[in-house]
Every structure is written in structure tokens, then in C-alpha cells.
Amino acid sequence: MKKSPLKKIPMVDLHRQYKSIKKEIDCAIFDVIKESGYINSRFVKKLEQEIAEYCKIKYAVGVNSGTDALYLSLWALGIKQGDEVITTPFTFIATAEVIVLLEARPVFVDVDYETYNIDADLIEKKITKKTKAIIPVHLFGFPYEMDKIKKIAKKHNLFLIEDAAQAIGAEYNGKRIGSFGNTGCFSFFPSKNLGAYGDGGIIITDSKKLAERLKILRNHGSKIKYFNEEIGVSSRLDGIQASILSVKLKHLDKWNRKRREMAELYNSLLKNINWIGLPKENKSCNHVYNQYTIRVKNGKRDKLKKYLEKKGISSMIYYPLPLHLTKAMRYLGYKKGSFPVSEKLSKQVLSLPISADLKKEEVKYIVDVINRFTFD
């Protein structure tokens, strides 16, 4: 077997990325320090404008995290106690957590086995008089089929909030993900496609009214300091993160293309292994592969993960437990078997290393190792 080109292959090597843009990043950080532009500074406004332009939308509002982007979106849209919000149980907990924080009820709809996204054909059955919104998740960077869900939302007069935390730069029919709903929510968590050097997030919207309300909510309910209009929270994106992100945004399309190239290479090398299901691609979608997630169909997913680990290859399970089976969400009353596809996926999925900085030889090595996996 070929020797590993690296001692270890991590899921993402953030330091490798930093080294490739070190000068630009160091300058960007220094610029903020020079003028102490830490909070509510021009650096944040600049990034907001750049993200809005990038997504071809009118407004962008920087916040503390992707979670807060979702939370403030729901809050600004008036989601409250007793409302129902439809989403998927096969996602990161933040998607459903924010619904609970507003004392509304998450109503789960199972996902499609190949796209890992909400099965649009199952949504209408779950709509009641209390339903106020739907949160589709563009999981792993694969754009959700927005035309179908937009039609459903329109027909039933529901808000649409896109959880695009993993999908910045992705497109559906040539339009940026995040720009279809009432709001689109992005996360700048370091391992996302556009990652900060800490926490951060942003909300995009075409509604001026909504953008203004979001700006007030993120800043203690005030437009003018000490003249608070309502109760809000402290959820600002800081100047240093914004300045770093402005630099990285210029590289994002190139980085997303590289992710797609690495995914294509994985696909071509893995396609003949009959116990592996590959991530779905679709002509109308530009998948940005925040994760490259396969389905291990021989029941040996956990064994494969351990085996890869021994060979120095990291892999991750996103997600090992669907939300309806977590202790935190048990109160909703769902049972084992409530969402069979999500439950099956949680036993099969395995995400392999992918990033713009991953090398072809590394992908080849990983596949080489997988090919030698024996499972009797």
C-alpha cells in the first residue's frame, strides 16, 4: 500500500488554509487593531455589503453565530409560543433548538435517503392551523429543492427560513442558496466553507423591514445606544471576524470549486464499491460539499471508522442520533421508528475529509485504504 502523504489526515486542516493566505489575513487583523474597530465598526458593515452582493440580495445582518441567525430570524418573523415550525430531525441540533427557545414546537418531517434533505412530498401532511414556518436545511452543502418548498410555503402562507449554515455559495437553478426564503442563515463556524477564526453568522433577506428589526434585536433592542425600543439580545459579529471573512470571501468560489473537484475524485474512485452509497449530485444544483458524506450499507460503518482512524484518517458521523431520539427532544413524544429514513441514515453515514486544501494524493490514499477494508 502507498504510504500516507501525511502523518495524519484530519477532517479539515485550518492551518494549511491560513498558510495559503497568511499575508492577507495578518493585514486584515492588524487593520482592525489599528483603529480599535472591534464592535459595530465599518468592518462589519463592509462584510454585510459584500455578502449581500455575493448572494445577490438586498440586506445582510451579521450576528454572533449561525444559531443566532436562525434564532433571530424566527423571532423577527414573530414565531412564538404555541406555533409549529416544520423541519428535519436529521440535522445539527441548532436548527430545532431555536424553535424550542421561542417556546414553539418543532414538527419533524423525514428526509430523503439520497439527498439527506426533507422529503418535500411528506411536508403537507404535517401542516396544521398552528404551522407558521418551514426550515429546510441544505445539509452538507447540497442545495434543497427550493421550487417545491416555495410552492408549499406560498400555498399555506408559511414563512420560509433557510438553514444554509453548511451551504454558503451553493446554488439552485443558478440562484444563491439562502436567497429563496424570507431569510437565509449562514454560519461562520471555523469548519464551514466560509469560516471565521471564532464564532460568527449572518442573516440575508430582501425585506428592509426585517433587516432593520434584526439589527435592533441583535443589539439589545436598540437602534440608538441607551434608547432601547424593545428587549433584544447581544449577538453582534465582531470587527476582527468580519475583516477576516472579507478576505476569505474573495477566495470562496475558488475554494468551493476545489471542494467539488475533490468530491468528483472521491466519486470516481469509490463508485465501484457496492457497499458504499455516494452523495447525490443534481444538474440544477451546485453542491458545495461542506461535508463529503457516504452511506456505508454493509452495517460496518463504525468498524470502518475505527479502521480509518488506525491508518491516520479522520472521519466523522454527522449525525449519530436523529434529533427526535435525543434526550433533549424526547418531550416531543416521537418514538424510535417515527422517522425511519433519518434513523437508517444515522447508522450509515460517514463523512470523509474534504476541503479546498485537501490534496488529490490524499483522496487517493484514503480510497486506497477503504478498498483494503475487510469486513467479515
Ligand X SMILES: *Cc1c(COP(=O)(O)O)cnc(C)c1O
Q: How far is the CB of 93 from ligand X (least distance, A)?
A: 8
Please report whether residue 163 would count as binding ligand X according to CB under 6 A: yes
Binding positions for ligand X, 185-214, rule CB under 6 A: 187, 189, 199, 201
Binding positions for ligand X, 93-122, rule CB under 6 A: 94-95
Q: How far is the CB of 372 from ligand X (least distance, A)?
A: 32
Q: How far is the CB of 326 from ligand X (least distance, A)?
A: 15
Neighbour order of strands in the sheet with 183-187: 59-63, 201-205, 183-187, 159-163, 131-134, 84-87, 105-108
Please report whether residue 17 would count as binding ligand X according to CB under 6 A: no
Rounded-to-integer distance, Cα 318 and Cα 91, Å: 8
Please report whether residue 137 would count as binding ligand X according to CB under 6 A: yes
Q: How far is the CB of 201 from ligand X (least distance, A)?
A: 5
Closest CB to ligand X among residues 189, 266: 189
Neighbour order of strands in the sheet with 171-172: 175-176, 171-172, 285-286
Contact assessment for residue 247 and residue 239, using Cβ atoms and an 8 Å cutoff: no
Please report whether residue 346 would count as binding ligand X according to CB under 6 A: no
Please report whether residue 169 would count as binding ligand X according to CB under 6 A: no
Residue nearest ligand X, CB atom distance: 66
Helix (H, G, I), strand (E, B) or coil at 105: strand
Q: Which residues, other chains included, contact 36 with Cβ-Cβ below 8 Å and sequence gap of 6+?
A: none
Closest CB to ligand X among residues 28, 69: 69
Please give the radius of gyration of the chain, using alpha carbons only, rounded to the nearest integer. 21
Per-residue mark of binding to ligand X, 46-65 (x: CB under 6 A):
-------------------x
Q: Which segments within 244-340 are labelled E, that is strand?
A: 276-277, 285-286, 292-296
Q: How far is the CB of 161 from ligand X (least distance, A)?
A: 11
Q: How far is the CB of 95 from ligand X (least distance, A)?
A: 5
Helix (H, G, I), strand (E, B) or coil at 277: strand
- Determine phi and psi for 118, rounding to 5 degrees: -50, 135
Please report whether residue 141 would count as binding ligand X according to CB under 6 A: no
Q: With both helix axes pointing from N to C terminus, report the angle between 239-270 and 22-34 in degrees, rounded to the nearest 10.
A: 160
Binding residues for ligand X, rule: CB under 6 A, are 65-67, 91-92, 94-95, 137, 163, 165-166, 187, 189, 199, 201
